Homo-oligomer: A and B are copies of this chain.
Amino acid sequence: MKTEEKAQRGEPDEPALPKRRGLNEFALKFATVNGTGSASANNLILRSIFRMGVPVSGKNLFPSNIQGLPTWYEIRVSGEGNTSRAAEFDLMVAMNGQTYASDVAAVSPGGYLLYDSSWPLPKLLLRPEINFLGIPLAKLIGEIFSDSRQRILMKNIAYAGAVAALVGIDQEVILELLSERFGSRKSLFDANREALQLGFDYAESHFACPLPFRLETMAGNDGKILIDGNTATAMGCLYAGATVAAWYPITPATSVAEKFRSLCERYRRVEETTANGAREIRNNFLILQAEDELAAIGMVIGASWAGARAFTSTSGPGISLMNEQIGLAYYTEIPAVIVDVQRAGPSTGMPTRVQQADIMACAYASHGDTKHLLLFPADPKECFEMAVLSFDLAERFQTPVMLLSDLDIGMNDWVIPRLEWDDSYRPDRGRVLGPAELEQIEEFFRYDDADAEFVTPRTLPGFSERGAYFTRGSGHDRFGRYTEDAEGYQQVVDRLAAKHRAASAHMPPPVVKRHPGARFAVITVGSCESAVIEAIGYFAARDLQLDYLRVRGFPFSSEISSFIEDHERCFVVEQNRDAQLRSLLILEAGAPAGNLVPILSYGGLPLTAVQVIEGIETAWKDEA
């Protein structure tokens, strides 16, 4: 896709968004080397802007590597609330000699480039239409700090100071953040403050600060927090009462399990002092780092079968490996919550890039006839809420539920409304018969006595002989008996299909925005939302009203089908090559293929509004 390339190089795109460089409207990009600790400095800036009340987003474009390769961080500031990934950058902090050339090229005309002038910038990189701001950072830092480790880290803080001056970050806010970070560790705090001041002062005294685009405190973030999706997902699992987690490390899902552990240690660890004065730890959770993803899903199935709320977190390759056992859980009707933080590409692909490309793989995971429940969060708030919901759905419908987050949501910091919790929430454990209920019925059969939603009661091991039954992934009839009989087999799988349909009533409804008389609409999913909303605004400003629908769960509700029917054309925006959401809509929402126009981006970077606008305009042209 040409757009993608141009956008990455920062070249202006025809038709671009109207240039909004100005007060609380601009984008920064930091080019550094990974492993040098720049993330900390970048985060400081992001968080300062957030504290100033200005809507902001941060996108970390990092390599699948530990140290020494180019890495970028992008900050989009938008008082108007357009915080999808920026297509152009107004200030580039170019701290990586390896990538100078492309970083210089990525600055939009009239923009600025901040570089370390300890060494001269090669002449051939100069571009007349942008402004170069040199600070001899290495030299200045080298004069103050002697420890090599400190020099590397403090250089980052120094450029953060310079940026603060350039874009007008409130000094108090940034210092407050520093002191929160280092608290009592005074020497650390002092060093950081010194470096920060160094950058700040140098910029103030050498450049016309603040730049034409700059920050001004506003009240855009009241009641909001800045958080990454994986932390929010982990929080959801904690609040849902999950006690068992089994996982295998994989980017970008790793932090779901790691956060879950640290949250559990914080909220579920009871320390007791025994009679003889020894301290005893009691963990109200058990987290298993599995030997692989096959084991991880197995552990989740075993734990859920035994009655725990259990989950695993993984990414595409893990989903592939879990395929067989996802089918087992589906067919034996065992709850299983699987968090899939999607990354880019088939196979190993680009582990540190984003796509929503596991939609089809998850909807129909496993051989034979299978269909699963999917949830599609769009931001960390939904990660939290849908994580809780996924356990309720998994237990209510006794089936795997896949929470399809992605790298952009999961690993980047998002400004979202504060998470809320209703203390009256109690888990929906679905139909579980305890010993008392078992006494009331003549004989318990696992797959018999379906309710209106085609769910049959289960029992947990360990309580009563009356509830004992045999779970098997091989052919079974409604009594749970082994069968190779056509009818016995079909009764069960027919009910499974009906159960899947019934679940649609419990999926989160789509987010819909309609305008009276609109003939066209955009349908999207997950992290594409903000770019799509921005694009819709662009068209609205040109008197073209586009309706909007964001899918949040599968199976699809009838609302989705009728929304599609109500429009002449729906543009389906998603980040994968094969239009997977569109495919699923065609198959499962009864949508006519001709009415769904795919708008695809799959280069692996978070979606920009420009890509959506260009995609829609091109599609339009093609139709005309």
- From B323, B324, B475, B577, give the contact of A353 (CB < 8 A): B475
Q: How far is the CA of A366 from the CA of B317 in the complex (A)?
A: 8
Task: Say if the beta carbon of A262 comes within 8 Å of chain B.
Answer: no
- Given A353-B475, A487-B603, A593-B590: A493 and B345 interface contact (C-beta under 8 Å): yes
Task: Say if the beta carbon of A489 comes within 8 Å of chain B.
Answer: yes
Most buried by B among A320, A358, A586: A320
Q: How far is the CA of A330 from the CA of B146 in the complex (A)?
A: 52
Task: Say if the beta carbon of A309 comes within 8 Å of chain B.
Answer: no
Task: Say if the beta carbon of A236 comes within 8 Å of chain B.
Answer: no
B367–A364 touching, CB < 8 Å: no
B4–A604 touching, CB < 8 Å: no
- From B8, B474, B493, give the contact of A486 (CB < 8 A): B8
B475–A349 touching, CB < 8 Å: yes
- From B8, B331, B345, B605, give the contact of A345 (CB < 8 A): B331
A487–B347 touching, CB < 8 Å: no
Mark out the residues of chain A between 284 and 332 whose CB falls within 8 Å of any chain B CB in the assembled complex.
Answer: 316-317, 319-321, 323-324, 327-328, 330-332
Q: How far is the CA of A88 from the CA of B349 in the complex (A)?
A: 54
Task: Say if the beta carbon of A433 comes within 8 Å of chain B.
Answer: no
B355–A368 touching, CB < 8 Å: yes
0/1 interface trace, chain A 2-35, chain B, CB 8 Å (1 if under): 0011001000000000000000000000000000
Q: How far is the CA of A64 from the CA of B482 in the complex (A)?
A: 11
**In the complex, chain B residues whose CB is within 8 Å of the CB of A602:** 369, 490, 493
0/1 interface trace, chain A 450-492, chain B, CB 8 Å (1 if under): 0000000000000000000000111100000001111101100
Task: Say if the beta carbon of A370 comes within 8 Å of chain B.
Answer: yes
Q: How far is the CA of A345 from the CA of B332 in the complex (A)?
A: 12
**In the complex, chain B residues whose CB is within 8 Å of the CB of A351:** 474
0/1 interface trace, chain A 220-253, chain B, CB 8 Å (1 if under): 0000000000000000000000000000000000
**In the complex, chain B residues whose CB is within 8 Å of the CB of A173:** none
- Name the residue on B nearest A602 (C-beta): B490
- From B320, B484, B605, give the contact of A323 (CB < 8 A): B320
Q: How far is the CA of A42 from the CA of B568 in the complex (A)?
A: 62
Most buried by B among A319, A355, A369: A369
Task: Say if the beta carbon of A350 comes within 8 Å of chain B.
Answer: yes
B604–A489 touching, CB < 8 Å: yes
- From B473, B483, B486, give the contact of A347 (CB < 8 A): B473
Task: Say if the beta carbon of A497 comes within 8 Å of chain B.
Answer: yes
- Given A324-B320, A486-B8, A603-B486: A357 and B368 interface contact (C-beta under 8 Å): yes
A367–B331 touching, CB < 8 Å: no
Q: How far is the CA of A367 from the CA of B487 in the complex (A)?
A: 34
A603–B368 touching, CB < 8 Å: no
- From B1, B328, B366, give the contact of A361 (CB < 8 A): B366
A347–B369 touching, CB < 8 Å: no
A364–B361 touching, CB < 8 Å: yes
| Closest CB in chain B relative to A29 CB, distance in Å | 15
B603–A593 touching, CB < 8 Å: no
Task: Say if the beta carbon of A344 comes within 8 Å of chain B.
Answer: yes
Task: Say if the beta carbon of A348 comes within 8 Å of chain B.
Answer: yes
- Given A489-B604, A605-B486: A349 and B368 interface contact (C-beta under 8 Å): yes
Q: How far is the CA of A379 from the CA of B321 in the complex (A)?
A: 32
Task: Say if the beta carbon of A435 comes within 8 Å of chain B.
Answer: no
**In the complex, chain B residues whose CB is within 8 Å of the CB of A371:** 578
B320–A367 touching, CB < 8 Å: yes
- Given A4-B490, A486-B604, A593-B586: A347 and B331 interface contact (C-beta under 8 Å): yes
A347–B368 touching, CB < 8 Å: yes
- From B349, B367, B590, give the contact of A319 (CB < 8 A): B367
| Closest CB in chain B relative to A564 CB, distance in Å | 13
- Given A320-B323, A489-B603, A586-B587: A473 and B348 interface contact (C-beta under 8 Å): yes
A-B contact pairs, 16 of them (CB 8 A): A1-B490, A5-B486, A5-B487, A64-B484, A317-B327, A344-B368, A345-B368, A345-B489, A346-B366, A346-B369, A353-B475, A357-B369, A369-B576, A486-B605, A490-B577, A497-B577
User: Closest 4 A-B residue pairs measured CB to CB?
Assistant: A486-B603, A316-B367, A347-B473, A346-B368
Mark A residues whose CB is within 8 Å of B.
1, 4-5, 8, 63-64, 316-317, 319-321, 323-324, 327-328, 330-332, 344-353, 355, 357-358, 360-361, 364, 366-371, 472-475, 483-487, 489-490, 493-494, 497, 576-578, 580, 583, 586-587, 590, 592-593, 602-605
